[in-house]
Structure formats: C-alpha cells, structure tokens
C-alpha cells in the first residue's frame, strides 16, 4: 500500500475499533496498539514531509473517488503537513509517558482511556489535514467528544463539573460553526474549502460578515481566546496530566488553525486582522495577570497556556510574512514546551489532592530530574536564551517592530515580565525552600523520564540551532499566505 495522508485518519480509526477486541486477548495490547499506531504515523510524517519538500508540491488526496468539489479531499501541504507531523510525533512521546502512568486504574478503564486518547490526537490531525469545511466540523466533533470524556476521566476529582462546563461551551461553539457552514453553503453552494475561497469575492458583504463572526466566535472558543475561554482553566486542572499536554499541544492548536484557515484562505479579509491583534493582546494580558494570582500549579499552567495562545493570535493578526512565521514558530514551541511543563509538573504534584504550589516546596532535592526539566521548561516558555521559546518571541517582536506596532511590543514585554515573575516563583519554591509537605512523592517511571527528556532535548536543540526547524516553518508560512496556489492545487487534482 502506498503511503498517503488518509492513513493519518484511517489507521487510528481502524485501531480504535480493534482495541476492544484485542483488549480481550491480552490486557496490555490495548495500551501498546496506540503507541504502534502513533509510531507508524510519525514514520509516514517523515516520508511525506520529505516527499513534499523534495518535489516542492502539495499532496492533495481525493477520497471515495470523487474529485473536488464533489468529494472530500485531504491536503498535505507544508503547513498542514508540519502540524500533522508535529501532532503525531508529540502524540507518540506523550503515549510513552502515559504507558505506566497510573497503574492502579482498572484495565477496562485503561482501554477506554487509550481509545479516547488516540482519537483526540486523530481528531486534531483531521482538522488540520482536511480540505473540506464540513469534514473539518466532523473532526472537531471527534476531538470534542473525546476531550469531554477525558476531562471527566478521574472519578475522585471534580472532573465531571469541568467536563460539563466544557460540554456546554464546546457544544455552543460547534453549533455556531455548523450554522456558519450552513450559511456558507447557501451562499457558495459547495463545501470544498478551495472552491469556497474561489467563490468568496461574489458573496454578499452582509452574509460574509455574519458567517465570519460565527466562525470567529466558534473557533475562538476552541482556541481559548478571551472572553470565550472560561472552560479551559478547569479542564486543564481536572483532566489527567498527559491529556493537559495534548490540549495545550494539539487541541487548541487545531482550533487556532481552523480560525486562521478561515480568515486567511476562505475569506481573505484583512479588515478582521486588527481585531485578532486586539483580542490576542487582551487574552494575553488578562490571562497572565490571573496566572500570577494562582495558587495551584496546573491552574497556573492553564492560564499561562491561554496567555500563549493570545500571543499566537497577535502574531497571526499582524498578518505580515514575518509575523505569521513567528506565529507558527510560537505554535510549535508552545506545543513542546507546555507539553513538557504539563508532563513534568504532573509528577511534581502527583499524589497531592489540592495540587497547590506549596506542594512543590523543596522538591528539587527529592525529584531532581523532574524538577530540573520543569525549571528548564519554565525558562524556555518565558523566552530565555538559549531555549526554543527565545527565538519565537524574538521573531514576533521583530515582526511587530517592522510594522511599527510599538504598543504591541510594549504589552508583550510587560506580559513577559509577569510571566517571568510567576514561573521564577515556582522555580524558587522548588529549589530554595524547605520541604514541609508530607505527601508521598512518586518517582517517574523510566518511560516517563525518557518522554520528558526527549522534549527537553528538542527544546534545547531548537534553541541552540533554530535552523533545524525554521526551514519547515518558512515553507509553512509561504503555504498559508499563498491562497492562489492552494486553490489551484486542490481544484486541479484528478483532472485528466
């Protein structure tokens, strides 16, 4: 079988249907299969990325034998391919971390966890890869349903409340997106994103406005933009630790991808970009100030995550080539760094019920490896050289300076100082306080340590040598901003 992008979706789906059967044969198989699937997807990511970069084309795959606009198609371009590859590889690392995560959980529950875990990643990948707006909605639903269930996974926490809140807000978001797709279909008569983009100039401006606002609010909820992010702090706090890493690394990334795809490709309206900058700045400022006041580790990470998404929104909103480059770089950095913070932070407060900052006092002596990685992640996310976070922030500031947005630069810098304060406070607690808490510590298993270590290596490697990744991001930026070639490559596929 030839390697093609549809395997990103089809293989995990097949595996998800098979897991309940394999679980009956052998209890461990249900845990191993997702890892094998994600490993294979990482492998095809390498092959496909090589293919599109060496031939300098976009892979458009038609499904069910109907070429666009009649059938559904998947688009593996430098941007979507980059994100899909990132999701698969990060997913594999997180799978490695979860393998022995909570041994006391019942096998029946573990099996369900791994099905939902794998589908959460598949849903996010599908959102990114699809070239059809309704298909995007279907994948959004797959992501959302797995996310709601995983939030409520632990019965002993208040996960149900957080999940219910998420369910209400998330369904609201899905409804708005569905209404937008409905209105869009009445206007352009097609669901294929390339053809929508082609027909968009002929649409009545009033309709265009209504549809764009519906999409904006819908995807804004998914990508944690202010004031639509009420669900996220609770969800991050209550969900299992590795799932927090997936939310930060993939789910909200897929949300912002949807927003950006709609704004840049489908509508191509530059008028809404300043709004994105303003909302991004408010998101960032509000979230970071609230993060400063948090007494619980995971809640603090959650608000920091919202703040970072605000930064990404600002970067996309500036809209120049350099700022979009910075935005995609920020997405990548935030995925790996916040992923590592969630993974290591989870072990710092593993057995604590309240998970407050007091629990990490003096933990550096007891869990030296995990504490060191958490500190490294904290330094990286605030943008200290020589870590990955430094470059993306620098590129963003330079891009903002190019278009003379001094207010934006000032706010980013002030917010960075706030970020430094609350992250350094945690580092101070870890290393320079005495441990008074009597909660038993959990030593990470070898595979969890390895997973965190891999992410740390990537953070340092990209920090020291950003050219490792900047070539891919440069292509992704060009791909996102070049609407015409996207339309042309999708609509010309399968023509004889």
Does residue number 4 form part of the binding site for other proteins (CB under 8 A)? yes
Nearest distance, CB of residue 255 and other proteins, angstroms: 17
Through-space distance between the first and last CA atoms of the chain, rounded to whole angstroms: 23
Contact set for other proteins, span 308-367 (CB under 8 A): none
Stretch that binds other proteins, among 19-27, 41-49, 273-281, 366-374 (CB under 8 A): 19-27
- Residues 186-225: x where in contact with other proteins by CB under 8 A, - otherwise, as a string: x-xxxx------------x-xx--xx--------------
Answer for which of 20, 227, 368, 385 binds other proteins (CB under 8 A) is 20
- 143-155 b/e with 16+ CB inside 10 Å = b? bbbbbbbbbbbbe
Does residue number 168 form part of the binding site for other proteins (CB under 8 A)? no
Whichever of 1 and 406 has its CB closer to other proteins, that residue is 1
DSSP-derived pairing of the beta strands 73-76 and 59-62: antiparallel
Query: Concatenated DSSP letters for 194-256?
Result: HHHHHHGGGS-HHHHHHHHHHHHHHHHHHTT-TTS-TTHHHHHHHS-HHHHHHIIIIIHHHHH
> Beta partners for 60?
75
Answer for which of 94, 152, 260, 487 binds other proteins (CB under 8 A) is 152
Nearest distance, CB of residue 30 and other proteins, angstroms: 12
Nearest distance, CB of residue 251 and other proteins, angstroms: 14
Nearest distance, CB of residue 254 and other proteins, angstroms: 14
Stretch that binds other proteins, among 10-18, 226-234, 292-300, 331-339 (CB under 8 A): 10-18
Does residue number 71 form part of the binding site for other proteins (CB under 8 A)? yes
- Residues 111-150: x where in contact with other proteins by CB under 8 A, - otherwise, as a string: -xx-xx--x------x-------xx--xx-xx--xx-xxx
Judged by CB under 8 A, how many residues of this single chain contact other proteins?
Answer: 61
To 10 degrees, what angle do helices 252-260 and 205-222 make?
A: 170
**Cα 438 from Cα 405, distance rounded (Å):** 50
**Cα 447 from Cα 452, distance rounded (Å):** 9
- 92: which 2 tokens? 């594999």
Answer for which of 108, 403, 457, 461 binds other proteins (CB under 8 A) is 108
Whichever of 36 and 481 has its CB closer to other proteins, that residue is 36
Whichever of 15 and 52 has its CB closer to other proteins, that residue is 15
- 14: which 2 tokens? 């097949």
Contact 69, 493 (CB under 8 A): no
Nearest distance, CB of residue 247 and other proteins, angstroms: 16
Whichever of 217 and 481 has its CB closer to other proteins, that residue is 217
Contact 312, 397 (CB under 8 A): no
**Cα 174 from Cα 346, distance rounded (Å):** 30
Q: Where are the alpha helices (DSSP H) in 99-158?
A: 107-129, 133-151
Q: Which residues, 6 or more positions from 428, have their beta carbon under 8 angstroms from its beta carbon? A: none
Nearest distance, CB of residue 372 and other proteins, angstroms: 34
- 44: which 2 tokens? 């095809």
Contact 262, 140 (CB under 8 A): no
- 463: which 2 tokens? 């920090």
Binding site for other proteins (CB under 8 A): 1, 4, 6, 9-10, 13-14, 16-18, 20-21, 24, 61-66, 69-72, 106, 108-109, 112-113, 115-116, 119, 126, 134-135, 138-139, 141-142, 145-146, 148-150, 152-153, 155, 160, 163, 179, 183, 185-186, 188-191, 204, 206-207, 210-211
């Amino acid at each position: 079988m030839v390697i093609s992008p549809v395997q990103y979706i089809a293989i995990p789906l097949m595996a998800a249907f098979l897991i309940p059967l394999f679980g009956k044969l052998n209890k461990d198989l249900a845990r191993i299969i997702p890892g094998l699937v994600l490993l294979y997807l990482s492998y095809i990511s390498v092959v496909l990325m090589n293919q599109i970069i060496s031939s300098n084309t976009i892979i458009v795959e038609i499904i069910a034998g109907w070429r666009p606009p009649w059938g559904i198609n998947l688009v593996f371009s430098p941007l979507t391919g980059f994100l899909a590859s990132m999701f698969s590889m990060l997913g594999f690392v997180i799978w490695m971390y979860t393998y022995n995560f909570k041994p006391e959980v019942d096998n029946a529950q573990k099996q369900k966890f791994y099905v939902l875990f794998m589908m959460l990643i598949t849903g996010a990948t599908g959102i990114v890869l699809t070239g059809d707006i309704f298909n995007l909605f279907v994948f959004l639903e797959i992501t959302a349903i797995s996310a709601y269930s995983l939030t409520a996974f632990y019965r002993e926490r208040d996960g149900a409340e957080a999940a219910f809140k998420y369910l209400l807000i998330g369904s609201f978001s899905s409804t708005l997106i569905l209404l937008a797709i409905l209105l869009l279909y009445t206007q352009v008569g097609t669901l294929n994103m390339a053809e929508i983009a082609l027909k968009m100039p002929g649409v009545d401006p009033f309709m265009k406005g209504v549809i764009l606002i519906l999409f904006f609010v819908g995807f804004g909820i998914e990508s944690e933009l202010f004031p639509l992010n009420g669900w996220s702090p609770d969800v991050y706090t209550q969900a299992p630790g590795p799932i927090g890493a997936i939310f930060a690394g993939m789910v909200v990334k897929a949300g912002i991808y949807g927003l950006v795809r709609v704004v840049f490709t489908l509508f191509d309206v530059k008028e809404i970009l300043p709004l994105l900058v303003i909302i991004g700045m408010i998101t960032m400022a509000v979230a970071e100030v609230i993060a400063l006041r948090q007494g619980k580790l995971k809640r603090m990470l959650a608000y920091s995550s919202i703040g970072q998404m605000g930064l990404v929104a600002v970067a996309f909103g500036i809209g120049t080539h350099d700022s979009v480059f910075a935005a995609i770089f920020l997405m990548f950095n935030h995925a790996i760094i916040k992923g590592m913070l969630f993974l290591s932070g989870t072990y710092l407060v593993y057995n604590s019920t309240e998970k407050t900052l007091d629990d990490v006092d003096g933990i550096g002596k007891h869990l030296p490896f995990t504490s060191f990685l958490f500190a490294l992640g904290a330094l990286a996310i605030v943008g200290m050289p020589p870590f990955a976070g430094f470059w993306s922030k620098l590129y963003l500031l330079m891009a903002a300076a190019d278009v003379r947005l001094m207010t934006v630069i000032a706010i980013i810098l002030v917010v960075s100082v706030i970020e430094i304060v609350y992250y350094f406070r945690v580092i101070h607690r870890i290393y320079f306080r005495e441990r008074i808490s009597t909660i038993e510590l959990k030593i990470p298993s070898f595979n969890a340590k390895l997973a965190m270590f891999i992410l740390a290596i990537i953070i340092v490697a990209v920090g020291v040598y950003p050219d490792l990744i900047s070539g891919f991001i440069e292509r992704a930026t060009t791909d996102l901003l070049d609407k015409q070639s996207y339309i042309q490559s999708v609509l010309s596929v399968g023509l004889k």
